[in-house]
Chains A and B, each alone.
Chain A
Amino acid sequence: MNCSECEARISEFLDGELSDLSSQVVREHLQSCLDCQRLASEFLSLKFQILQAMDSILVPAYLEEQILASIQIEQKTASKQVWLTSLILGIVPIMEYLGNNWLSARIGNFPSLTSLFIEAILFVALVNLPLIGFLFLTGSAIMGLGVVLTLIWMRFKHRRKLD
């Protein structure tokens, strides 16, 4: 083995990645070559220098608390999701009961409306309740505004007539 062959395999040798036979060949060359010995020694030293350098990296003192805070936020979010899921899952049996025992009895004459379909309608209606409420309030506000503006306009017109 010559020096360039040894150099090419020196990393594998130091990392224990060579077969016994190949390691033996590299070892024999190292015993007789000072340059390659120096390279091997520098690579070994580099390993320890890297480990020491990494251990010297300063860790921010606040990091632990910051991570704990983010975990607590995660816990709160997860607990909200559990509540929501429980709520939705709790509604399903009620829907099923209403669909099977109440609605299906009343709409028994309409075979196309199955209890499942009714359940779905009720579920969608319930999920959309906030939206319906919002639309109702917005509509009411617009109507109210229209009435007020009309009254103001009528009053203005009445005054002009009197003048």
Chain B
Amino acid sequence: MTDFELIEQVRSGNEEAFARLLKHYTPYVYRTAFAFLHDEHESEDVAQEIFLKVYRSIRELQDLGAFAAWFKRIITNSCLDRLRKQRPTPVPDTQLNHIMEKNPQQWDQHLEIQEAINQLIPVYREAVLLREWQGYDYQEIATLLSIPLGTVKSRIHEARVQLRKILLE
């Protein structure tokens, strides 16, 4: 079954098709939420909220070919909204050192990158994730965040500089 057929079946209320859609997209949705929020419970909550939004409004989607962009927009907006409501909880250096000493084997490169992203201030974190993970171009990011294009350029560049610096430390 193609994606097109799957979406059509979901739109017509087929529960099995929705379960298949859920199975296919849950990892991407959860990982995106976790990348932005860095909190398991909040990420689960946002993932649930995103699929409920899809369930409620998929019948309003006119062009089935636009599903991917429409779905990605829902994911992004939900994560950004939650990120703005989230209280800033930066991980202090001392705590990071503690984690590294406690779990030296688990502290692999992937975890290091995840923690480095989490250490970025939210505006840099969202800019770099929208670009690198979600693949939006600069103009799309400017529209999503309602900020000037120049600000997008500087945030993405500064986020990369900061990440490089954190990883080199």
* B31 neighbours in A (Cβ, 8 Å): 54-55, 57, 59
List residues of chain A with CB within 8 A of the CB of B26: 59, 63-64, 67
A-B pair count, CB < 8 Å, reads 91
Chain B's interface size range is 35 or more
In the complex, whether B132 has a CB less than 8 A from a CB of chain A is yes
**A-contacting 9-mer, from B46-54, B83-91, B95-103:** B46-54
Q: Confirm or deny: B7 has a beta carbon within 8 angstroms of a beta carbon on chain A.
A: no
Most buried by B among A8, A47, A64, A67: A67
Q: Are B113 and A53 in contact (CB under 8 A)?
A: yes
1/0 per position for A98-139, CB-CB distance to B under 8 A? Answer: 000000000000000000000000000000000000000000
B157 on interface, CB distance cutoff 8 Å? yes
Interface size on A, residues (CB 8 A): 29
Q: Knowing A11-B160, A17-B137, A54-B133, say if A60 contacts B153 (CB, 8 Å).
A: no
How far apart are B108's CB and chain A's nearest CB, in angstroms? 8
Q: Are A74 and B117 in touch, CB under 8 angstroms?
A: no
Interface residues of A, Cβ cutoff 8 Å to B: 8, 10-12, 15, 17, 42-43, 46-47, 49-57, 59-60, 63-64, 66-68, 70-71, 74
Residue ranges of B at the interface with A (Cβ–Cβ < 8 Å): 18-19, 22-23, 26-27, 30-32, 34-35, 40, 44, 47-48, 51-52, 55-56, 109-114, 117, 128-129, 131-133, 137-138, 153, 156-157, 160, 163-164, 167
